[in-house]
Chain A
């Protein structure tokens, strides 16, 4: 009993401190004879403030999924769904926060001080909200000497997690028809899905990305790089990260967490690889496009990675092999893409007097010329240009590896395999490369 009494006293002191603290900031700018001064002092009396807080708590709600982030004019249900209660499945969703998360608050921003109050933590590490939810006797005793009043207030505070009445959506909310039955023509074979904004999850993502951008460790790593020093872990970037502003100049109207982020929300990029067709010009005054191919950023990066990879003699495991195969395949992919990009030019571009490309490259890069130039069509038909392009590619790749001091010489690699007693790992890669080249030839010859 004495224990309860002392707990209760400690909680009372905690609450009184909180209220005094808020009053002090309010009074800071006021003169002592300002009529507002007395008014505020009265409002921030212990009982008076708690009574108002218990009344105002109905204006806010603690949630994990919000509606206003979808559209600020939407009025309807927000949800508190504890991540641990969601079905665990192999996709990323709020259920992945089961290890810990921060709840959001929506409602009247003028009542947010009540939320701050409920987040106060006692010496055992429980928030007042948790105590209220647990119907804690010490908190009850601390709130008011009047048992009925204390009971009411406690219940009011515990209602923060409850739903805000009848369930509703809104015309400005997203609502999607999803076919759940067999027949798309039947209006009744659908469900309406209403996506809410996963506020707790988005906040966690925001916090992590900010940690990676501005955290102490990231800063140290970036500085080490600038100075050419070593760093234990390195750092990471999020290419083309976008910032979406929610709530305009009033982020607090969306939610508490949105307000803490200053209305900023990070969106990760799922951009497709892209080329700028406006930069694409016919390859004139050169006899081969392979130089231009090698200057493509993706190609340069991949070649560099491949050179580095082969030189570093990585461990002989599946992962290593897959990485290497993937790099080779990427180069062949790039070559096919690169070639196809020229097909976007107006057919017959290779008839320009400045075009000095070897003919097999013209056959490859300007195929539509055959529609109007019958001579060309016939020569193209008869030449084994896919095989020649394949060899040119193999030669080009050899040259790149050679530059890095790698022992690759013959374009077909066949000789190589005979002369040198290759270890398995290399043989595998060469075989794969050979397959890729065969594939390339097949792709090219398929008109």
Chain B
């Protein structure tokens, strides 16, 4: 998978998003699900393709600022709710708790296609066109705000860059770009850690499940440490190294796909329909300068209809498995 298909990167820096959906799945909250960004990517390609001929293959996200609209204090958080308008007939609408967050993010799209063959002099225009289009769209359900003059976001322009032919060139381009993404944190996928923890737990408890491993990696372990030679006990909070978080990564099938039109009230009667559930893994937030190349940053939507898997894949682990 190291021969990545993208020939260019489109960077839309420091997008301010207001009221993005921060309930990312039925079991997680915080940063919007990565599928919200792959969906955005597809929508952006549909809107811009006729003008610039870029193919969008993958998307990476770097978070510069995150502010959730939740209550503080106490053991648990609750979502600050909005008062929603009443129904058509004036009765109160059902309460559906929605979580909101304000974000500042940089989006990096892996692109290819004949658009990259255009004169590089036009790259800046093409990038600006994409950024302007993006500004009219919903990002994870939130609206895009314009950057304030005098802030860094105002001076950083969207860029389209060609990745070049040699590994060395690609590396250099990525290095330069990734420094512009500081301060910030990129989200990468750690399926490997989930699997490793599962195997570790099974060494002491053969019945341990993936759910045990997932919860274990999502929690803060607080354990006592008996100091040698004394009866003094020191309690320590331990987290596995790295900023690890539970994340949804896509969907798993609950049924076979139904023929177009077979399921009533489907959004589109022309295409197959399938009932699915959210699937979860472990993600890691890390500083973008830690990434060795664009493949480590980017997420690819992958479909394995035979196995009923519709998920987003990131190659962070593939690249670092030698460490």
Which residues on A are within 8 Å of B, measured CB to CB? 65, 69, 71-73, 76-77, 79, 81, 86-87, 89-97, 99, 166-171, 173, 175-180, 184-185, 187-188, 190-198, 201-202, 204-205, 208-209, 212-213, 221, 224-225, 228-231, 233-248, 265-275, 277, 305, 308, 322-323, 326-327, 329-330, 333, 336-341, 343-344, 346, 443, 446
Contact = CB atoms under 8 A, between A and B. Distances in A.
A243 B79 CA distance: 8
Closest 6 CB pairs of A and B: A234-B223, A326-B241, A340-B182, A270-B245, A168-B264, A340-B183
Contact of A268 (B66, B218, B233): B218
B274 A344 contact: no
A196 B31 contact: no
Chain A binding surface, main DSSP class: mixed
Contacts of A185: 45-46, 49
A243 to B, nearest CB: 5
Contacts, number: 314
B31 A270 contact: yes
A207 to B, nearest CB: 11
Nearest to A229: B233
Nearest to B96: A71
A242 B66 contact: no
Most B CB within 10 A of own CB, among A170, A270, A443: A270
Contact of A99 (B78, B79, B209, B278): B209
B221 interface: yes
Interface residues of B, number: 113
11 contacts: A76-B264, A91-B252, A180-B305, A196-B254, A208-B211, A239-B219, A269-B29, A271-B31, A272-B31, A326-B242, A346-B150
B1 interface: no
Nearest to B77: A242
Contacts of B191: 90-91
Interface in B250-271: 250-255, 257-258, 262-268, 270-271
B116 interface: no
Contact of B78 (A239, A243, A343): A243
Interface in B181-196: 182-183, 185, 187, 191, 194-195
Most B CB within 10 A of own CB, among A192, A239, A246: A192
Most A CB within 10 A of own CB, among B26, B29, B150: B26
Contacts of B241: 322-323, 326-327, 330
A191 B289 contact: no
Contact of A91 (B56, B70, B281): B281
Contacts of A197: 26, 277
Interface of B: 23-24, 26-31, 35, 39, 42, 45-46, 49, 56, 63, 65-68, 70, 75-79, 94-97, 99, 150-152, 175-176, 179, 182-183, 185, 187, 191, 194-195, 207, 209-211, 214-216, 218-224, 226, 232-233, 235-238, 241-243, 245-247, 249-255, 257-258, 262-268, 270-281, 283, 285-287, 289-290, 301, 303, 305, 307-311
A238 B219 contact: yes
Contacts of A268: 27-29, 218, 246
A375 to B, nearest CB: 22
A336 B262 contact: no
B19 to A, nearest CB: 17
A346 B94 CA distance: 46
Most B CB within 10 A of own CB, among A91, A96, A267: A91
Contacts of B272: 191-192
Given A194-B274, A205-B211, A333-B286, A69 B264 contact: no
Contacts of B267: 169, 175, 177, 192
B257 A337 contact: no
Nearest to A341: B183
A52 B234 CA distance: 62
A209 to B, nearest CB: 7
B238 to A, nearest CB: 8
B246 to A, nearest CB: 5
A188 B42 CA distance: 14
B254 A236 contact: no
A271 B31 CA distance: 6
Contact of B271 (A192, A238, A242): A192
Given A175-B266, A244-B23, A330-B241, 9 more contacts: A87-B307, A89-B252, A167-B258, A169-B265, A191-B273, A196-B277, A221-B222, A228-B232, A327-B241
A213 B220 CA distance: 12
Nearest to A193: B276
Nearest to B307: A87
Contacts of A170: 265
A85 B278 CA distance: 17
B94 A72 contact: yes
B97 A246 contact: yes
Nearest to B68: A271
A193 B310 contact: yes
B66 A272 contact: yes
A230 B224 contact: yes
